[in-house]
Structure 1
């Protein structure tokens, strides 16, 4: 893969991008905990959730992929994600969260809503009103994992954030993903569970000032 392979995801590619993301998240412990137990129903719910999230991010024009859709990195720019209740409501409506009971099922809805609530509280506590980039979705198709695709997909915004002096933030839920982000300059700022019987999640932050200092050593 070369520099020219990274491009913006087109709106016409959202459906297939959602399917790729759902495939990549198929064994994710948090989604296994908070989505339907039946594998087929869980995949359908995952595809819907990731498609909605990618569709939301596309409006900000910072969803990156490769020419053959090897992976997706969907970012929200500074100011696009707010803890203001009215803006959160508008965001929930645009994401069509009113359809969650039908897509997820009532028996797992509470778990998913709890996860969304706890992680947003963590996000607000960790970043407050500090302008930052928020990595909402980062996946690589299982066939292309371990080939440097993910690191390439991160570079456009990590470089822009470094140029602007802005932090980047994300939440993930596997140790493998944590190691990947650490290799790309992120540091762990939080490790917690949404419930005693739930799998953990991690919050990580990319500090452009620290990474610039390292690059000069």
Structure 2
């Protein structure tokens, strides 16, 4: 049986924030941004809410019909084009920190690091985040959500990009056709991330 997928709207905001908050509570990057577990439990959702609002306004969020998984995507232009928000990345990082946790410099730092490592030479689809309810992880929901957009990428000849936040998750993305970049994204005194790229699959490639 296939996984039912639909585009999220403003009415789904709280659902998406909750899914991301639950899915990323124990993520290595979230743990670096919010090192104290209790503080992370009470504050982490603000960062997920900020991400959700950005993508609701500028990109696309897909959710499973049963509301147990979501994926956040942005369409990124090639260098020289306007980004999704048309703003300056440094200013965006500052605004993110001020809106989420003003005294926490790591909120701003992670935003800067990810923006600096992002490929800019070709237009592509960017998988910013994917969240699956902890009780439903391992059932293929994440793969179905990603493949849903990759099928469109293949039809339109668009590559896709993401940053995997754990070595384990790179294996999932490799099965979907992504390959690791030459460099990892090493957070100062923190975890490692794996930038990954996927070229579109053409009809000839499929045969």
Q: Same fold (TM over 0.5)?
A: yes
State the partner residue of 1:40.
38
CA contact (8 A) 2:97 2:107 kept: no
Could you say what secondary structure the match of 1:171 adopts? strand
Output the aligned Cα RMSD: 2.6
The runs of 4+ residues in structure 1 deviating greater than 6 Å are none
CA contact (8 A) 2:74 2:84 kept: no
Q: After superposition, give the CA deviation of every residue in 1:163-203 in whole Å (9 maximum; x if it has no partner).
A: 111111111211121111111111101323121x2111110
Structure 1 51/213 Cα, relative in aligned 2: closer, same or farther at 3 Å?
Answer: farther
CA distance in structure 1 between the aligned counterparts of 2:76 and 2:166, rounded to whole angstroms: 25
Q: Determine which structure has the larger helix proportion and give its number.
A: 1
Could you say what secondary structure the match of 1:147 adopts? coil
State the partner residue of 1:208.
200
CA contact (8 A) 2:184 2:192 kept: yes
CA contact (8 A) 1:82 1:88 kept: no
Could you tell me which of 112, 115, 120 is aligned with 1:117?
112
Task: Give the TM-score, by structure 2 length.
Answer: 0.86
Structure 1 91/157 Cα, relative in aligned 2: closer, same or farther at 3 Å?
Answer: farther
Deviating more after overlay: 129-138 vs 55-64: 55-64
State the partner residue of 1:8.
7
Shift of 1:119: 1.7
CA distance in structure 2 between the aligned counterparts of 1:78 and 1:178, rounded to whole angstroms: 21
State the partner residue of 1:101.
101
Task: Give the TM-score, by structure 1 length.
Answer: 0.82
State the partner residue of 1:65.
63
| Mapping of residues 1-217 of structure 1, within 5 Å | 1-3=1-3, 5-37=4-36, 39-60=37-58, 62-79=60-77, 82=83, 86-88=87-89, 97-102=97-102, 106=103, 109-123=104-118, 127-189=119-181, 190-195=183-188, 197-209=189-201, 214-216=205-207
For structure 2, the 5+ residue unaligned runs are none
CA distance in structure 1 between the aligned counterparts of 2:2 and 2:50, rounded to whole angstroms: 29
CA distance in structure 2 between the aligned counterparts of 1:99 and 1:181, rounded to whole angstroms: 31
For structure 1, the 5+ residue unaligned runs are none
> Aligned pairs, how many?
203
Could you say what secondary structure the match of 2:76 adopts? coil
Q: After superposition, give the CA deviation of every residue in 1:69-105 in whole Å (9 maximum; x if it has no partner).
A: 1111010013397399844367568x75422334xxx
Structure 1 138/162 Cα, relative in aligned 2: closer, same or farther at 3 Å?
Answer: same
